[in-house]
Amino acid sequence: MQFSSILFNQNKSVEELSLTLDFYTDLNLDQIIDAAISYKTEFDIKRYFYMPQISKEDVIYRQDIVKDLQKDGFCLSVDEFSNKILQIIQYQDIIKNLEYKEYKNGWFLHMVTLYCSALEDFDKVLKSAKLHSQGFLLFREYLDSYLQSDDFVSVQKEMVLIKEKLDLIVYDVLVDGMTFRVKKYENEDDYTKEIERVFEKFAQDEVKAQECKFDKNRGINHVNAKILEFVGKLNPDIFLQLQEFCEKSGDFIDKTFLTFATEVEFYISYLSYIKVVQKQGVSCCFPKISENNKEIQVKDGFDLALAYSLSFEKKRVVPNDYLLKNQERIMIVSGANQGGKSTFARAFGQINYLAKLGLLVPASGAKIFLVDKIFTHFEKEEDIGTLSSKLQVDLLRIHTIFEKATPKSLVVLNEIFSSTSLQDSMFLSKKIMEKIDKLDLFCIWVTFIYKVNEMSEKTISMTSVTHEKEIESRTYKIIKKSPDGKAYAKTLARKYHLSFEQISQRIK
């Protein structure tokens, strides 16, 4: 029996995208990924975040696995198993590089002990958990048959036997200057206890806790190796038995579990990350995926990276709803400065990408089309250079996007052409819009030019509004609404106590 992968359905190979793609930084996905993997730095999982799935079937394979992992306690048990397996991998390295071979057998026995108990513990966990995902069910089947195999059973039996015998060994070491002597323990009294009795009468109720420092005699070195050799000579039978055991079971460890342990941490790291956000009371969901129906519906969508950093200030993001139905493909976002427009655009991009990873997305409900590629073009303020060359660069990049984009792609444009004259940018925008319209791809376009929404039949207009009560909050609501230049001016006036009502009240 075989088990292939907990990440890739039927072990399909998936392309690893370049970390330098614009959309990773523009959508702050790099922040999300880095923060997520920071919860599991000991596992090499970063690359999996750069391997989006292509088919709906594969996305669902993962979603089901995550659903299983969301169950109380199960995720913890899986994580515990992974960490045990990681330790076993480290032990393999240690044994390979041991300088003193006296230790080799002891380490091997220890590793086998851990390995057996890790597998058995996890088997119990899997059997008691109510699992539904294909991935975990297949893994459970594999593990179960592995544990029942003759190989495993006989190795485990002998290991237990040897351990019992080793536990019975007690030896004496007499340290005298540069000489040491090793012999069997002969029931000598515990001298510390005897001394404690002698001075007992001075003991007081309150004892100042004081411990002096010392380096414990741990680790592997020639002295300990020599002591061990002597202990072996004092107990030759059992040491020989262990030696034979090690020779027999050298390649005992199954690599399937090593792969599983790392891969499953991809999910766990992301769940740990998202838990921080969920604690602030915002919800994430599994998006409903479609491969042919080009309709998009999002409820309470938010920027995950922003929500994560706000959660450390115990603040919540303001979520947004939106709907693209029938022929609608393009969201034109306009409105006040610092009104959360970029955040809104990012949030939408994040939902699409995270959905392709098979993970929970930052929204309380989402129905999306499985886009094939994501492109972004964000105005970069730090760009230095003459206007003409900047415009040139911008256009070149946009050109590249439309060369690669397909009708299934998503394009996120953020304040392009803002450094050009209004007339020029109107012209350019119209040209771009024609391309978008023709390709019939999804686009979210943040712009200050409110007339852009009139340039195509496929647009809907979204505007940032600021509620007076939320003046001090950093995130604002975006609603479906035609652009309105007055709303922002009113808010700003209030902030400086210069609204009509305020001025009337203040002047007495």
Partner 1 sequence: MKVFLMYENKDFVVDEDLPKNADTLMSDLELKPLLDCMSKEDEFLYDVSKKALLCSLDSTRDVIYRQEILKDCMKNPLITKELYELTIKSLAKKQERWLGVFGRYPGSLLSSSVSLLDMYFELFVEMRQIVDENIQNFSSSGFQRFFKMIQKELDDEYLMLVKEHLKELKFKGGVLLSAKLGKAYEGIEYTLRRDKFATKSWLGKILTPKSKEYSFSLHPRDDAGAKVLRNLRDEGLNKIANSLSRSANHIDNFFISLRRELAFYMGCLNLQEKLQELNCAFVFPIVTSLEETIFSTKDLYDISLALIKNEKVVGNDINTDAKLFFITGANQGGKSTFLRSTGQAQLMLQCGMFVPAMHFKANLCNGVFTHFKKEEDKTMKSGKFDEELLRMNDIVEIVKPNALILFNESFASTNEIEGSLIASQIIKALIQKNIKIFFVTHMFELAQSFYKQKLKNTIFLRPNRDKEGKRDFKITPAPPLTTSFAKDIFDSIF
**In terms of CB distance, is 191 or 312 closer to partner 1?**
191
Residues 162-201 within binding reach of partner 1 (CB under 8 A):
166-167, 169-186, 188-192, 194-196, 198-199, 201
Closest distance to partner 1 from the beta carbon of 200 (Å):
9
In angstroms, the CA 83 to CA 233 distance is 36
| Tokens found for residue 182 | 């090793």
Out of 234, 253, 323, 479, the only residue in the binding site for partner 1 (CB under 8 A) is: 234
Shortest approach of partner 1 to residue 167 CB, angstroms? 7
Q: Which is nearer to partner 1, 246 or 455 (CB)?
A: 246
71 is an interface residue for partner 1 by CB under 8 A? no
Enter the tokens of residue 24: 């990773």
Sole window of 50-58, 204-212, 306-314, 499-507 interacting with partner 1 (rule: CB under 8 A): 204-212
Select 170 or 387, whichever has its Cβ closest to partner 1.
Answer: 170
Give the closest residue to 347 by CA, choosing from 412, 400, 409, 282.
412
Closer Cβ to partner 1, 180 or 427, answer by number: 180
- State in angstroms the smallest separation of the CB of 171 from partner 1: 6
Q: Which two tokens stand for residue 402?
A: 């439309």
Torsion of CA 408, 375, 420, 381, to 10 degrees: 160
Say if strands 477-480 and 374-378 run parallel, antiparallel, or are unpaired.
Answer: unpaired
Residue whose CB is less far from partner 1, 173 or 396: 173
Q: Which of residues 43-62 bind partner 1 (CB under 8 A)?
A: none
Which residues have CB under 8 Å from 412's CB, separation 6+? 23, 26, 27, 345, 346, 348, 349, 374, 375, 376, 377, 378, 443, 444, 445
Of 214, 326, 469, 506, the one binding partner 1 by CB under 8 A: 214
DSSP per residue, 427-479 = HHHHHHHHHHHHHT-EEEEE-S-GGGGGS-TTEEEEEEE--GGGTT-S--EEE
Q: Shortest gap between Cβ of 114 and partner 1 (angstroms)?
A: 9
Asked if 250 is part of the footprint of partner 1 (rule: CB under 8 A), the reply reads: no
Q: In angstroms, give the least distance from the CB of 104 to partner 1.
A: 9
For partner 1, the binding residue among 124, 127, 157, 233 (CB under 8 A) is 233
Specify the 3-state DSSP secondary structure of 3.
Answer: coil
Which runs of consecutive H residues, i.e. helices, occur in 279-385? 304-311, 341-356
Q: Which CB atom, from 96 or from 404, has the smaller least distance to partner 1?
A: 96
State the amino acid at position 15 in one-letter form.
E
Question: Smaller CB distance to partner 1: residue 31 or 113?
Answer: 113
Please state the separation of Cα 495 from the chain's center in Å: 40
Spatial CB neighbours of 415, under 8 Å, sequence gap ≥ 6: 342, 378, 379, 446, 447, 448
Specify the 3-state DSSP secondary structure of 177: coil
Residue 196: CB minimum distance to partner 1, A: 5
Residue 231 near partner 1 by CB under 8 A: yes
Residue nearer to partner 1 on the CB measure, 46 or 163: 163
Using CB under 8 A as the binding criterion, the count of chain residues that bind partner 1 stands at 64
Using CB under 8 A, which residues numbered 78 to 107 contact partner 1? 102-103, 105-107
C-alpha–C-alpha distance, residues 88 and 254, integer Å: 11
| Geometric angle at alpha carbon 295, from 288 and 63, rounded to 5° | 15
Closer Cβ to partner 1, 180 or 500, answer by number = 180
Binding site residues, partner 1, CB under 8 A = 102-103, 105-107, 109-110, 113, 166-167, 169-186, 188-192, 194-196, 198-199, 201-204, 207-208, 210-218, 221-224, 226-228, 230-231, 233-234
